[in-house]
Structure 1
Amino acid sequence: MSVDLPIRRVAKPWGCDVLPPPFARDGDERIGEIWFEPPPQLPQLLVKYIFTSENLSVQVHPSDAQTQADGLGRQGKEECWLIVDAQPGAKLGIGFDAPIDADAMRAAALDGSIEHLMSWHAVKPGDFFYIPANTVHAIGAGISLIEVQQNSDITYRLYDYGRPRELHLDKGIAVASGVPYPDRYRASVPGHGEVTLVSGPLFRLDRIEGTPSAGMAAHYGEGPFLVVPQDGEVMVRGEAVAPGSCALVAAMAELMVPAGAKALLAQAGI
């Protein structure tokens, strides 16, 4: 049995007809997302690729505490993005240029001016952004990224560029934070070496190159965790896992990363 997690290809109106390597077009649908189905051993995390040919909706996600207070009985959603490809001029909208209150945010969502009040960040491969719950955000056109997130589908759309989809203004405005995006949540990942991208209570994310250091291996201990190859194959229980895949690793002893190969490691609840 393959160690690779099952893949779900998700068609989206804002998706792409041609996907960047190592992915290939499959059918006539515009693919916007490729999901790796969370395994039973690690249901808290979802890893996906996102591909955009148009701007995505302006949206916000609630926290764990807010979903529980709202009686949803599910976890909230925090996420992070690693840019893997970006066309010239591609941008992410995260937070606001200046503080904005709930009434002004609602009015801006209704008349479409909310996108002009947001802060837009030009992106390139290797850029990294952590998106806490309550952060108003939008992914722009021309971007391919890896998203690691809490495994939750709770999304409140505030503005959707006229697409015929439901908006969630009451719930969205109730949890949205109308403030600028803190610089501490973004980084530029170096081309080589080992780097910690997220180390928090909800999940941990690291980029490794070659054999993990003793300190890194100790963080992941007996697992379980996910490995997402980026450059070169890695081995899990003696089976090759290639870029464009994601695999469950039960313990660090199962993972072998050749010299020069790069991969992401993700674990819940650190």
Structure 2
Amino acid sequence: MDLSEAGHAFVTGGASGIGLGIVDAMRRRGLRVTVADIDAQALETVVAARGDSVRAAVLDTRDRAGWARAKAEAESAFGPVDVLVNNAGIAPNGREFADMDPESFDRILAINLVGVANGVFAFAADMRGRGRGHIVNTSSQAGLTASVPGVGAYAVAKFGVTALTEGLRQEMAPHGVGVSLLCPGYVATNLAESTRKVGGEIRDYAGAMPPSKVTPDDVGEMVAAGIEGDAAVIVTHTKVWRSMEPRLAAIRAACDLRDTAA
């Protein structure tokens, strides 16, 4: 999608971190942006610093009625949404499946997976009807390979986002609507604080994640480029393929074994 021809972007989790990086990338390309977030105070700060090109929408992405209200208000103010970025999410809880509180599991899936689906439910049909638009769903490197202990529930949600997005891309392509899967690696944000605000527990990252030079603004620019190039997948870090190789090799071996036995 040519962003110079787009008018309105709607970004969830947009008041901080990667979401805010995407908001600013859209603004730099001349779009007006509805910044949706559960944190009303953070939204107030973001909007005050960016003027009339942005507006705030307090939104818990688990709330389908809230999505309907936010959509109606956003499009009344800025017109039809051309770019939807389903970015809101919370952090891994650090629990192995055998030790996990089911309530924590449910919360991670509700926000990281169902919240993304709710955004699709709210906007996809209208984009299809207009024959234009682009949807970006934020998954994770953990949505490509579940290789790190303690992120199991998070990986389940992010693998779900990966599947949702791949299916949605096939469905929307004939109607002129692009769909991209964003798979960030570790980016320094306030995700831990955001997770605690919704009652979530977080994984202890001390020593677990290597330093990253990739910033939220960098990711915002990658997303903008991905939209304009109709990228199926957007990765933000190097050596992602290497981390996927053991999983893919096991799948290939299983397929080769069955093909040989046939």
TM-score, normalisation: structure 1? 0.27
By percentage of residues, which structure has more strand? 1
Greater helix content = 2
TM-score, normalized by length of structure 2?
0.27
